[in-house]
Structure 1
Amino acid sequence: MTARVLVAGIGNVFLGDDGFGVEVVHRLSDVELPRWVRVVDYGVRGMHLAYDLAATGYELTIMVDATARGDEAGTVYVVELDTAPSARRPSLDAHGMQPDVVLDLVGLLGGEPRRVLLVGCEPAVLDHRMGLSPAVERAVGTAVRAVADLVADHASEGDRHVPRHTG
Structure 2
Amino acid sequence: MNQVPPEALAAPAPQAAARVLVAGVGNIFLRDDGFGPEVARRLASESRLLTSDVRVVDYGIRGMHLAYDLLDHVDVLVLVDAVPSEPAPSLEDPGQSGSAAGSIRVMRIRAEDLDGRAALDPHGMNPAAVLGRLRTLGGELPTTYVVGCVPADVSEGIGLSDPVSAAVPEAVSAVVSLLARHAPVNPSVAA
Q: TM-score, normalised by structure 1?
A: 0.85
Residue by residue, what CA displacement relative to the aligned partner does 1:118-163 show, whole Å, maximum 9, x if unpaired?
A: 000000000101000000000001111111111002237xxxxxxx
Q: Which residue of 2 aligns with 1:40?
A: 57
* Alpha-carbon RMSD: 1.9
1:100 CA drift (Å):
1.6
Q: Which residue of 2 aligns with 1:12?
A: 27
1:81 CA drift (Å):
0.8
Q: What letter corresponds to residue 127 of structure 1 in structure 2?
A: S
2:108 to 80, 86, 89: 80
1:89 CA drift (Å):
2.2
Q: What letter corresponds to residue 77 of structure 2 in structure 1?
A: T
1:96 CA drift (Å):
3.4
2:43 to 12, 28, 31: 28
Q: Distance in 1 between matches of 2:113 and 2:138?
A: 11
1:108 CA drift (Å):
1.5
SS, match of residue 134 in structure 2: helix
Matched, 1:154 2:176: no
Runs of 4+ in 1 over 4 A off after TM superposition: 85-88
Structure 2 unaligned regions, length at least 5: 1-16, 87-98, 185-191
2:139 to 104, 111, 114: 111
Q: What letter corresponds to residue 165 of structure 2 in structure 1?
A: E
Residue by residue, what CA displacement relative to the aligned partner does 1:24-49 show, whole Å, maximum 9, x if unpaired?
A: 00001221213310000100001110
Identity of counterpart residues, as a percentage?
49
Count residues in correspondence: 154
Residue by residue, what CA displacement relative to the aligned partner does 1:71-125 show, whole Å, maximum 9, x if unpaired?
A: 1000011100122485552313113323220112211201001210000000000
Q: Which has the higher helix share?
A: 1
Residue by residue, what CA displacement relative to the aligned partner does 1:1-35 show, whole Å, maximum 9, x if unpaired?
A: x9700000000000010000000000012212133
Q: TM-score, normalised by structure 2?
A: 0.75
Cα 1:88–1:30, aligned 2, differ >3 Å: closer, same or farther?
A: closer
Q: Which residues in structure 2 correspond to 1:46-57 (within 5 Å)?
A: 46-53=63-70, 55-57=71-73
